Amino acid sequence: MAPKKRPETQKTSEIVLRPRNKRSRSPRELEPEAKKLCAKGSGPSRRGDSDCLWAGLAGPQILPPCRSIVRTLHQHKLGRASWPSVQQGLQQSFLHTLDSYRILQKAAPFDRRATSLAWHPTHPSTVAVGSKGGDIMLWNFGIKDKPTFIKGIGAGGSITGLKFNPLNTNQFYASSMEGTTRLQDFKGNILRVFASSDTINIWFCSLDVSASSRMVVTGDNVGNVILLNMDGKELWNLRMHKKKVTHVALNPCCDWFLATASVDQTVKIWDLRQVRGKASFLYSLPHRHPVNAACFSPDGARLLTTDQKSEIRIYSASQWDCPLGLIPHPHRHFQHLTPIKAAWHPRYNLIVVGRYPDPNFKSCTPYEMRTIDVFDGNSGKMMCQLYDPESSGISSLNEFNPMGDTLASAMGYHILIWSQEEARTRK
């Protein structure tokens, strides 16, 4: 399909660098007014969260003093420490740094809420964000230049999925309520339309891309999933779910392995080499509520699912059809809120997810805050909670960059960048 021009490309409006004087206070100083939850405590802060299938899940955990990573690596080199113990030491060291994370920068470029987020695969300070109005922002917060801004169509143009092109990072794939899944560049040019609906009643809700297999997969609001190659050739188009497909994910280490999530309260796992119809799935994982997301871990060995109520589940490759653990967590669905999705840390076995306090949730406490929660992927224990009293909205999307040292959050109209960079600058 011949390239065509998107409406317009311009520079975004509001980018705010957090003033240091307001954030120079320590977490302890903020504790009375904001109940800073990253701080280590002497006991659980959420009694009901211990109902997790893992024994002993509680509030933010007390971390032992961090051992020297250099010493641990030396012990490993001498054969006195196993690699898992080295990984655990690195993760423990990272968790200690989370206590110093602050909002480094904040942007509010959209006139509608943010709906999708993707980190640049090789530039750790560059993130792309899509909005409900179809706007897309490419933001390199490490430089002073204003972000690139692509204007959307407005109502009905919501960006539901966003992925950088792994073969050319000056381009990106996007699925939208506009009724297309497309490849375009950051000048606003549409380079190829991979899928298009002929009616306003059908739109695309999810997207994933594999560089190694050169595949593009997208799901729509009536349960169809389409597999294409990167040349745009459709390989199959099948109805795999009874209702909207909210998320599609290709396994990063085994790209013929596909997970699909749906509001029909199921997550299904497929072998792309053997798909013949809706009954050809390898596993069907029933949930008690509609499902927002199903994400494979970076090593491909685990699957993380987020429902639309109060459950986060972890499944393991050793037994896909039975959850390894279940984490009770309030993140209920609301029509005017971007669906909350839990995500993996790219380097450690950690899970990050935004909290939407629910008075009907078992462990809800008075004046509970809208924190960003970090869980251990092995034990299911909550390790840390991030909170800024000046940005106290619900963070629906939270993802660490590929380096794992910076967190981007989509909170309504705002994009927040969390880092310990400010703490280092003050020293």
Helix (H, G, I), strand (E, B) or coil at 51: helix
- Looking at the fold, whether 303 and 367 belong to one and the same domain comes out as yes
Asked if 170 and 231 sit in the same domain, the reply is yes
Q: Are residues 366 and 339 in the same domain?
A: yes
Q: Is residue 127, in this structure, part of any structural domain at all?
A: yes
Does some domain include residue 368? yes
Number of folded domains in the chain? 2
Residue 36: pLDDT above 70?
no
Which residue(s) pair with 296 in the sheet? 303
Backbone angles phi, psi at 38, to 5 degrees: -75, -25
Q: Is 15 part of any domain? A: no
Q: Tell me the average pLDDT across 238-249.
A: 97
Q: Is residue 11 part of a domain?
A: no
Check whether 424 has a pLDDT greater than 70: no
> In angstroms, how far is CA 392 from the centroid of its own chain?
19
What pLDDT score was predicted for residue 120?
97
pTM for this entry: 0.82
Question: Which residues are CB-contacts of 79 (< 8 A; sequence separation ≥ 6)?
Answer: none
User: In terms of residue numbers, what domain contains 346?
Assistant: 102-418
User: Where is average pLDDT lowest: 71-75, 294-298, 307-311, 312-316?
Assistant: 71-75
Task: Indicate if 231 and 260 belong to the same structural domain.
Answer: yes
Whether residue 95 has pLDDT greater than 80: yes
Q: Looking at residue 27, what is its pLDDT?
A: 37
Same domain flag for 136 and 86: no
Residues 251, 235, single domain; the answer is yes
Average pLDDT value for residue range 285-312: 97
Q: Which residue has the higher pLDDT, 79 or 322?
A: 322
Structure-block tokens of residue 181:
């899944």
Band of residue 172 on the pLDDT scale cut at 50, 70, 90: very high
Co-location of 91 and 107 in the same domain: no
Strands (E), 177-282: 180-185, 189-196, 204-210, 215-220, 224-229, 234-239, 245-250, 257-262, 266-271
- For residues 380 and 259, membership in a common domain is answered with yes
- Pick the last residue of a domain from 96, 113, 131: 96
Number of H helices and number of E strands within the chain? 5, 31
Tell whether 74 and 163 lie within a shared domain: no
Q: Indicate whether 423 belongs to any domain.
A: no
- Is the pLDDT at 85 greater than 90, yes or no? no
Give the per-residue pLDDT at 364: 82
In the chain, the percentage of residues whose pLDDT exceeds 70 is 78
Asked whether residue 89 falls in the same domain as residue 177, the answer is no
Alpha-carbon distance of 69 to 76, in angstroms, equals: 10
CA distance 66 to 72: 11
Residue 290 belongs to some domain of the structure? yes
Q: Which of 96, 114, 143 is the last residue of a domain?
A: 96
Which of 35, 61, 96 is where one domain is finished? 96
- Alpha carbon dihedral 348, 214, 175, 171, in 10-degree steps, equals 90
CATH of the domain at 284: 2.130.10.10
Same domain, 220 and 343: yes
Residues 6+ apart with CB under 8 A from 110: 131, 132, 133, 135, 137, 413
Work out the average pLDDT over 27-42: 38
Each residue's pLDDT tens digit, 227-238:
999 999 999 999
CA dist list (Å): 61 to 30, 360, 364: 20, 24, 18
- Residue 77 and residue 149 share a domain: no
